[in-house]
Amino acid sequence: MNFGQNYFELFQLPVTFSIDLEDLENRYFELHKTSHPDRYVGASDQEKRLAVQWTMQINEAYQNLRDPLARAIYLLKQSGVELTENPQMGATFLVQQIELREKIDSIETHSDGPEQVEALIRSISEQTIELQQQFIIAYEAGNMREAREGVYQMQFMVKLQQSARQMEEKILGY
Amino acid sequence: MALIQITEPGVAIDPHQRKRGAGVDLGTTHSLIAVVRGGSPVTLPDASDRHLLPSVVRYKREGITVGYAAVEAAREDPFNTIASAKRLLGRGLSDIADRKQLQNYQFTDESAGMVKLQTISGEISPVQVAAEILRVLVLRGEEAFAGRLDGIVITVPAYFDEAQRQATRDAAALADIPVLRLLNEPTAAAIAYGLESGEQGTIAIYDLGGGTFDISLLNLQKGVFEVLATAGDTSLGGDDFDESLAQMLLHKSGYEGELDAISRRTLLLEAKTIKEALSQCDRVDVELSLPAFSWSGVVSRSEFSQAIRPLIETSIKACRRVLRDADLTESDVKQIVLVGGATRVPLVRQLVEAFFKRQPLSHLDPDKVVALGAAIQADVLVGNKPGEEMLLLDVLPLSLGLETMGSLVEKVIPRNSPIPVSRAQEYTTSRDGQTAMLIHVLQGERELVADCRSLARFELRGIPPMVAGAAKIQVVFQVDADGLLFVTAKELETQVKASIEVKPTYGLDEAEITSMLRASVTYAEQDVQARMLAEASVDAQRQIDAVTVALDKDGDRLLDRKTIHHLRKLVEELAEAIDQQNINEIENVNKRLGQASENFAAMRMDASVKDALSGRHFETVVES
Q: What pLDDT does B384 receive?
A: 80
The answer to whether B601 faces chain A, any CB pair under 8 Å, is yes
Chain A residues inside the 8 Å CB shell of B594:
44-46
Amino acid at B70: A
Distance in angstroms (rounded) separating the CA atoms of residues A34 and B92: 40
**Entry pTM:** 0.75
Residues 5-34 of chain B with CB under 8 A from chain A are 5-7, 9
Among chain A residues, the shortest Cα distance to B598 is held by A46
Whether residue A54 contacts residue A1, with contact meaning beta carbons closer than 8 Å, is answered with yes
Q: Which residue has the higher pLDDT, B50 or B478?
A: B50
Distance in angstroms (rounded) separating the CA atoms of residues B390 and B380: 8
CA B254 to chain centre: 43
> % helix / strand / coil in chain B, to the nearest 5?
40, 25, 35
Rounded (10°) angle between helices A91-107 and A113-140: 160
Distance in angstroms (rounded) separating the CA atoms of residues B579 and B389: 37
Note if B25 is an active site residue: yes
Residue B495, CA distances (Å) to B95, B432, B440, B451 in order? 39, 19, 22, 35
For the segment B516-523, the average pLDDT, to the nearest whole number, is 53
Q: What pLDDT does B406 receive?
A: 80
Whether residue B460 contacts residue B439, with contact meaning beta carbons closer than 8 Å, is answered with yes
Q: How far is A92 from chain B (nearest CA, A)?
A: 31
Q: What is the pLDDT of residues B590-617, one digit of tens each?
A: 999 998 998 898 888 888 888 888 765 5
Whether residue B428 contacts residue B438, with contact meaning beta carbons closer than 8 Å, is answered with no
Q: What pLDDT does B233 receive?
A: 81
Per the residue annotation, which of B95, B162, B207, B403 is the catalytic one? Answer: B207
For the segment B418-433, the average pLDDT, to the nearest whole number, is 85
Provide CB contacts within 8 A for B449, sequence distance 6+. B403, B407, B408, B409, B440, B442
Radius of gyration of chain B (CA): 26
Q: What is the pLDDT of residues B13-43, one digit of tens each?
A: 344 467 899 999 999 889 999 999 888 899 9
Q: How far is B171 from chain A (nearest CA, A)?
A: 20
Q: How confident is the model at residue B496 (pLDDT cuts 50, 70, 90)?
A: low
Q: What pLDDT does B434 receive?
A: 87
Whether residue A33 contacts residue B391, with contact meaning beta carbons closer than 8 Å, is answered with yes
Provide CB contacts within 8 A for B41, sequence distance 6+. B23, B34, B35, B192, B371, B372, B373, B375, B376, B379
Q: How far is A93 from chain B (nearest CA, A)?
A: 28
Q: What pLDDT does B509 receive?
A: 61
B296 DSSP β-pair partners: B287
DSSP B259: P
Q: How confident is the model at residue B9 (pLDDT cuts 50, 70, 90)?
A: very low
Among chain A residues, the shortest Cα distance to B226 is held by A29
Nearest to A41 among B324, B381, B546 (CB): B381
Q: Among residues B605, B524, B515, B600, which one has the least CA distance to residue B562?
A: B600
Q: How far is A173 from chain B (nearest CA, A)?
A: 9
Note if B207 is an active site residue: yes
B330-360 b/e with 16+ CB inside 10 Å = b?
Answer: eeebebbbbbbbbbbbebbbebbeebbebeb
Chain B residues inside the 8 Å CB shell of A26:
222, 618
Q: Per the CB < 8 Å rule, is A38 touching B391?
A: yes
Q: How far is B591 from chain A (nearest CA, A)?
A: 11
Q: Which helix (H) or strand (E) holds B331?
A: none
Amino acid at B134: L
Q: How many CB atoms lie within 10 A of CB A90?
A: 11
B533-556 b/e with 16+ CB inside 10 Å = b?
Answer: beebbbbbbbbbbbbbebbeeebe
Half-sphere exposure of B220 (CA within 13 A, CB side): 26
For the segment B313-324, the average pLDDT, to the nearest whole number, is 90
> % helix / strand / coil in chain A, to the nearest 5?
75, 0, 25
Residues 203-222 of chain B with CB under 8 A from chain A are 222
Q: Per the CB < 8 Å rule, is A34 touching B609?
A: yes
Chain A residues inside the 8 Å CB shell of B611:
34
Q: Per the CB < 8 Å rule, is B391 touching A46?
A: no
Q: What is the pLDDT of residues A55-84, one digit of tens each?
A: 999 999 998 999 999 999 999 999 999 888
Q: What pLDDT does B259 receive?
A: 86
Distance in angstroms (rounded) separating the CA atoms of residues B473 and B460: 9
Provide CB contacts within 8 A for B541, sequence distance 6+. B3, B4, B578
Distance in angstroms (rounded) separating the CA atoms of residues B17 and B386: 13
Distance in angstroms (rounded) separating the CA atoms of residues A69 and A88: 19
Q: What pLDDT does B506 receive?
A: 60
Q: Per the CB < 8 Å rule, is A41 touching B180?
A: yes
For the segment B484-501, the average pLDDT, to the nearest whole number, is 72
Residues 354-383 of chain B with CB under 8 A from chain A are 380-383
Provide CB contacts within 8 A for A133, sequence distance 6+. none
Q: What pLDDT does B497 receive?
A: 59
CA B267 to chain centre: 31
Whether residue A120 contacts residue A104, with contact meaning beta carbons closer than 8 Å, is answered with yes
Given a cut of 60, is residue B360 above it in pLDDT?
A: yes
Q: How many CB atoms lie within 10 A of CB B16?
A: 5
Most confident of the ranges B372-381, B427-436, B534-543, B608-617: B372-381
Q: What pLDDT does B388 receive?
A: 61
Given a cut of 80, is residue B197 above it in pLDDT?
A: no
Angle in degrees, CA B446, B448, B449, rounded to 5: 105
Distance in angstroms (rounded) separating the CA atoms of residues B204 and B396: 18
Amino acid at A103: K
Q: What pLDDT does B459 receive?
A: 79
Among chain A residues, the shortest Cα distance to B620 is held by A13
Chain A residues inside the 8 Å CB shell of B417:
59, 63
In 3-state terms, what secondary structure has residue B563? helix
Q: What pLDDT does B521 receive?
A: 46
B503 DSSP β-pair partners: B457
For the segment B194-216, the average pLDDT, to the nearest whole number, is 77
Parallel, antiparallel or unpaired: strands B21-25 and B30-37: antiparallel
Residue B200, CA distances (Å) to B196, B333, B395, B606 in order? 12, 11, 19, 32
CA dihedral B193, B197, B198, B201 (to 10 degrees): -60
Residues 508-537 of chain B with CB under 8 A from chain A are none
Interface probe, candidates B187, B613, B619, chain A, greatest A C-beta count within 10 A:
B613
Q: Please classify residue B529 by burial: count the beta carbons closer than 10 Å to its beta carbon, then call 0-12 exposed, 13-18 middle and 19+ buried.
A: exposed
In 3-state terms, what secondary structure has residue B117? strand
Chain B residues inside the 8 Å CB shell of A13:
620, 622
Per the residue annotation, which of B77, B95, B185, B199 is the catalytic one? Answer: B185
Q: Per the CB < 8 Å rule, is A42 touching B616?
A: no
Q: What pLDDT does B111 receive?
A: 52
CA end-to-end span of chain B: 52
Radius of gyration of chain A (CA): 20
Lowest mean pLDDT among B145-154, B357-366, B603-612: B603-612
Chain A residues inside the 8 Å CB shell of B180:
41
| H runs (alpha helix) in B520-560 | 525-550, 556-558
The answer to whether B299 faces chain A, any CB pair under 8 Å, is no
Provide CB contacts within 8 A for B51, sequence distance 6+. B32, B43, B44, B45, B368
Whether residue A66 contacts residue A60, with contact meaning beta carbons closer than 8 Å, is answered with no
Half-sphere exposure of B59 (CA within 13 A, CB side): 19
Query: How many residue pairs from chains A and B have C-beta atoms closer than 8 A?
Result: 137
